[in-house]
Structure 1
Amino acid sequence: MSLLPEKNTLVARTTSADGSLVALIFYGRSYLNRIISPSSSTVRHQYVLTQGEKRLFVSGSAARQAVGNLEKVSAPVGPSDILLTLTAYNPPKTWARTLSLFLPLLMWFSAAAIGWFVVNRLLIRPLVLLRRAVAAYQPGVPLKPLEKVRTPAQEITDLGETFRAISEDVATHEVEMSESLVRQRKLTREVHHRVKNNLQIIASLINLHSRSAVTPDAADAYASIQRRVDALSVVHRNHFAEMEENRGVGIRALVSELAAGLRASGTDGGARLAIQIDSADLHVSQDIAVPVAFLVTELVELAMLCDPAATIRITVHLKDDEPGRAQISVASLALSTTPVLQSRLEGRFDRVLTGLSRQLRAPLRRDEEEGIFCIDIPIMD
């Protein structure tokens, strides 16, 4: 294989196996350029075949006049001394070329920035404003309109308007409930005053009828009925007084007022009746206060009937062994076992006391020698 630069030709020679035939193959420059040069390359390059001092420029002769960095790569052609040399022109670095290299990255950052700006204006910022408005919401106060944003998403705007409409409805309902509560309180006070007045009217009627009683037994019966009406009235007054604070009925005030009423209704105006009170500051529900008031009234009346000059002690204390319960006791020598007491108990008192203890869901204990009746009652915290 040899070069013919003056003919722009590459000659390849081959012989047959027995050496009787010789074949020559001529490769022109245009053919070599066609099979060597890449079809998609945009870089200026040059191919040169070299054999000793002989040189055949196959393609890219313009690269010889190019200004810039040149890079060369050589490789042998077959089992011959011919070398194929590729000379590529590497243009110098410029700002335009550097910018073209970073242009895809710059475009990616630009797209990300534009996307973030659009998402921030359409979604993130309106959602942040909506979250702040909802977090600052106070019950009963309508939400303020959201801050004006030029390009919020319509769905977020609708959501903010929905929240604001809900807050306005809640505020309206709060006002209506407040007005209803005021009306309910007025109605409750009116009912209380009517019940109190009705009880006072009943007590007055009983008192008028007792004055016209012709026998002592009838007068005693009227007085007994009046004591029970007074006891119910006392419970009602104390319950309403404590109702505003939802504390229940104060047992100390209840027993004290009951004692004053019972002392005044006794024989000779209660001048000789002594009632001592030792009560802790406890509260009970109205369901407990009513039977307690009637129980105390029955026991004090029983003692008064047995001994009009009796000394009675009413005690209310917490139970150490049972949290949430207290013990109320009525003690008097007039309540100790005597024939008079037994005869009274065998009548209506035993039935009434048993019924009241069932309402309190506790047994009524009795110390016959000391004259003590006691029962356990639940209290409020």
Structure 2
Amino acid sequence: MPKGKDSGVTSLRKMLVVRIAFLLSLALLPIGLVAMGQSWRALNITHDNLEASIHARTSALVEPERRDLLTKMGTAAALADTLGATDLSIEECTAIMQRVRASNPQLSFAGLLETGSVSRCNSMGRTFDVLPDTRADDLFSAPEPYIRFNPQGSATNVPVIIVAYPSFSADNTLKGFVTISFETEKLLQPDSVTGQNGAVALVTFNSYGDILSSVTPEGPIEDYLPEGLSFEGFVNQSDSFFTATTRSGDTRLISVVPILPGEVYALGSWGRTALQRTSATWFTISTLLFPFLMWLVGIIVAVISLNRLVLRHISDLGRRMRRFATYRDVVSSEKINDAPSEIQTINATFEEMADQLLRDEADLENAVFEREVLLKEVHHRVKNNLQLISSIINMQVRQVASPEAVTALRKFQDRVTSLASVHRALYQEPSLTRIRFDVLLGDLVAQVNAVGAGDQKPVEIELDMDPVTLLPDQTSPLAMVTTEALSNAFKYGGPGRDGVFRLKVHLKEMQDGDATRVRLTIENSVNPEVHTPSGTGLGKRLILAFASQLDADLTQIDEEDCHGLTLTFEYQPFSPE
């Protein structure tokens, strides 16, 4: 074969699409998919028919109990409406309960349960306290009908099922719960679950998951239920159906149907007799077996092929990409020579891209370095020029005789020095775009203290600063505000009544909802007995102007023994990244 044709055939054989299409054509035959779909449909139909049949048989078995409970709920509701519509005496109410008890032989008790679990109106004609029941007590705060089982009735001392219905007066005030009870053996009759249904066990339960009654072919009901079954999980649900294994190891079909939705439910546990109806399922499963094996073989072949042809090469390429991302190191691989042509193309593109990225990053790092050097030089020169201006002002101060002129020049010098401090901080910061203002604030306090204290006694300075990082656009006006406020503190402040000159400087970072805010507080002590002269007002105007630049909330502190200000503004914190 010519070399050109041989090269073309080899390239075609290495294409991923050709290889996968060929392997899947051998494994996944259309006839297998069709057979699996038909078998699955037959299995679903058989399961649905079985579920509907079991639900129908369970509902038929508990139909007499449903009618009986509906009758008793209706009786309780009618009594509750009667007692709520009229204002009866205890004797009249008792007579009604006794007539209801006499006309319903199945009832063992009828009465009105009042708050405090006390019954004065009942078919027994006497007052007695019902046994404490936390669940029943809770219903007085949220009245609603309920049905429960009591292994020892408070009035009859025999196991009873209790049906209660709230009774409200005309002004919607709760009078109590009309309660009727009847013995449990009258609810489910063993005759109803014998004969052709002899393999079924039935149990009824209320909305709290309490068992009301049960009947089994033999033995306790727990032998016919899955171990650890919680009845509460079926409350407020429609019909439920599942297969479970009992603690004795028997496989049974569990059907749960509502007797009174939201109140009483029935659970039927069906045994081998019902399971015989599922014989068609085994035929369906056997039909599914062959296409499933075909599908399994196809998937195994496809996975092995994908791993050999694609996944191992992609994994190797990913490893080399991660190494490049972490160490900026491009490593070649011998495995790539056996990869499909598409992956070889991707690998070549990656290596070219990696080389280009390394060149671009080198150029970018060089540009960034040059920019940082230039920017640092700018800040350094600005700082030097501002310090030069400060020195010139200092020389001018020595030539001025007027105290007022000296004071004005000193204030101007402080403002220039503050700006120089900002640029010095920018020059010293590696990032050049953010400043630790708490560090700068400490320098400003020390600087103004050294100049402003003069002949006064030592100042007791209280510094409480959180680490706060700001943009240069925020740092400059805040530094100017700080300088003016500190200058005013040393100019107009002084020792308090205790003879101590106190200066408090706080810098706090606060969270206000989704926003982060910074609060600066500068406060100095004053002696209320000493008159403080007023200034020109320039410092105050400057503080207001700089606060406006920060869009800050400014609050003046003017108390008897202290003066100062609080400045609060919003900023975005810097991410360490």
TM-score grouping bracket, smaller chain normalisation: 0.5 to 0.7
Find the counterpart in structure 2 of residue 377 from structure 1: 569
> By how many angstroms is 1:227 displaced?
0.5
1:315 is paired with a residue whose SS is strand
Find the counterpart in structure 1 of residue 551 from structure 2: 361
In structure 2, relative to structure 1, the CA distance for the partners of 1:311 and 1:148 (3 Å cut) is closer
Find the counterpart in structure 2 of residue 297 from structure 1: 483
* Partner residue of 2:462 out of 257, 277, 284: 277
Q: Distance in 2 between matches of 1:376 and 1:305?
A: 24
Question: More deviation in 330-339 or 171-180?
Answer: 330-339
Find the counterpart in structure 2 of residue 122 from structure 1: 14
The answer to whether the aligner puts 1:315 opposite 2:506 as a matched pair is yes
Which residue identity lines up with residue 557 of structure 2 in the other structure? D
* Partner residue of 1:224 out of 411, 414, 417: 411
* Partner residue of 2:397 out of 186, 210, 217: 210
* Partner residue of 2:516 out of 291, 313, 324: 324
* Equivalent residues of 1:121, 1:151 under 8 A apart: no
* Partner residue of 1:196 out of 354, 369, 383: 383
Q: Distance in 2 between matches of 1:213 and 1:236?
A: 29
Unaligned runs of 5+ in 2: 1-8, 17-307, 496-500
1:136 is paired with a residue whose SS is helix
* Equivalent residues of 1:266, 1:273 under 8 A apart: no
The answer to whether the aligner puts 1:136 opposite 2:320 as a matched pair is yes
* Equivalent residues of 2:506, 2:520 under 8 A apart: yes
Find the counterpart in structure 1 of residue 361 from structure 2: 174
The answer to whether the aligner puts 1:249 opposite 2:249 as a matched pair is no
Which residue identity lines up with residue 281 of structure 1 in the other structure? D
Deviations 1:282-338 (A, max 9, x none): 213123222222112112222333357754222223447666223221112349898
Q: Distance in 2 between matches of 1:223 and 1:164?
A: 65
> By how many angstroms is 1:377 displaced?
3.1
Unaligned runs of 5+ in 1: 1-116
Which residue identity lines up with residue 506 of structure 2 in the other structure? T
Bigger Rg over Cα = 1
Q: Distance in 2 between matches of 1:320 and 1:231?
A: 28
Which residue identity lines up with residue 352 of structure 1 in the other structure? L
> By how many angstroms is 1:262 displaced?
0.7
Query: What are the residue-to-residue correspondences of 1:43-62 with 2, within 5 Å?
Result: none
Query: What are the residue-to-residue correspondences of 1:142-181 with 2, within 5 Å?
Result: 142=330, 144=332, 149=337, 160-181=347-368
Question: More deviation in 316-325 or 181-190?
Answer: 316-325
Q: Distance in 2 between matches of 1:132 and 1:172?
A: 24
* Equivalent residues of 1:336, 1:368 under 8 A apart: no
Deviations 1:254-301 (A, max 9, x none): 222111111222264x65362513222321312322222211211222
Which residue identity lines up with residue 347 of structure 1 in the other structure? G
Q: Distance in 2 between matches of 1:212 and 1:151?
A: 87
Q: Distance in 2 between matches of 1:171 and 1:362?
A: 46
Q: Of the two structures, which has the highest relative contact order with CA contacts closer than 8 Å and spacing of 6 or more?
A: 2
* Partner residue of 1:288 out of 447, 467, 474: 474
* Equivalent residues of 1:196, 1:237 under 8 A apart: yes
In structure 2, relative to structure 1, the CA distance for the partners of 1:330 and 1:220 (3 Å cut) is same
Q: Distance in 2 between matches of 1:339 and 1:171?
A: 71
2:405 is paired with a residue whose SS is helix
Which residue identity lines up with residue 272 of structure 1 in the other structure? K
* Equivalent residues of 2:502, 2:524 under 8 A apart: yes
* Equivalent residues of 1:357, 1:364 under 8 A apart: yes
Q: Distance in 2 between matches of 1:305 and 1:149?
A: 82
Which residue identity lines up with residue 211 of structure 1 in the other structure? R
Q: Distance in 2 between matches of 1:146 and 1:260?
A: 66
Q: Distance in 1 between matches of 2:466 and 2:348?
A: 54
Which residue identity lines up with residue 439 of structure 2 in the other structure? A
Q: Distance in 2 between matches of 1:152 and 1:220?
A: 84
Which residue identity lines up with residue 287 of structure 1 in the other structure? D
* Equivalent residues of 1:258, 1:297 under 8 A apart: yes
Q: Could you say what the CA RMSD is over the residues aligned between the two structures, in angstroms?
A: 3.6
In structure 2, relative to structure 1, the CA distance for the partners of 1:130 and 1:123 (3 Å cut) is farther
Number of corresponding residues? 260
* Partner residue of 1:351 out of 533, 538, 541: 541
Find the counterpart in structure 2 of residue 260 from structure 1: 446
In structure 2, relative to structure 1, the CA distance for the partners of 1:130 and 1:330 (3 Å cut) is closer
* Equivalent residues of 2:452, 2:491 under 8 A apart: no
> By how many angstroms is 1:151 displaced?
11
Counting aligned pairs with the same residue, the percent is 22
> By how many angstroms is 1:185 displaced?
2.5
Which residue identity lines up with residue 408 of structure 2 in the other structure? A
Q: Distance in 1 between matches of 2:376 and 2:426?
A: 12
Deviations 1:194-236 (A, max 9, x none): 2222222121111111111131122112111110111112222
Find the counterpart in structure 2 of residue 235 from structure 1: 422
Q: Distance in 2 between matches of 1:337 and 1:324?
A: 41
Deviations 1:317-368 (A, max 9, x none): 3447666223221112349898745x32x62123112112212222321232
Q: Distance in 1 between matches of 2:391 and 2:452?
A: 17
Q: Distance in 1 between matches of 2:520 and 2:364?
A: 41
2:520 is paired with a residue whose SS is strand
Which residue identity lines up with residue 520 of structure 2 in the other structure? I
> By how many angstroms is 1:176 displaced?
1.3
Which residue identity lines up with residue 305 of structure 1 in the other structure? K
In structure 2, relative to structure 1, the CA distance for the partners of 1:189 and 1:253 (3 Å cut) is same
Find the counterpart in structure 2 of residue 306 from structure 1: 492
1:332 is paired with a residue whose SS is strand
In structure 2, relative to structure 1, the CA distance for the partners of 1:170 and 1:185 (3 Å cut) is same
Q: Distance in 2 between matches of 1:336 and 1:353?
A: 24
In structure 2, relative to structure 1, the CA distance for the partners of 1:132 and 1:291 (3 Å cut) is same
> By how many angstroms is 1:186 displaced?
2.2
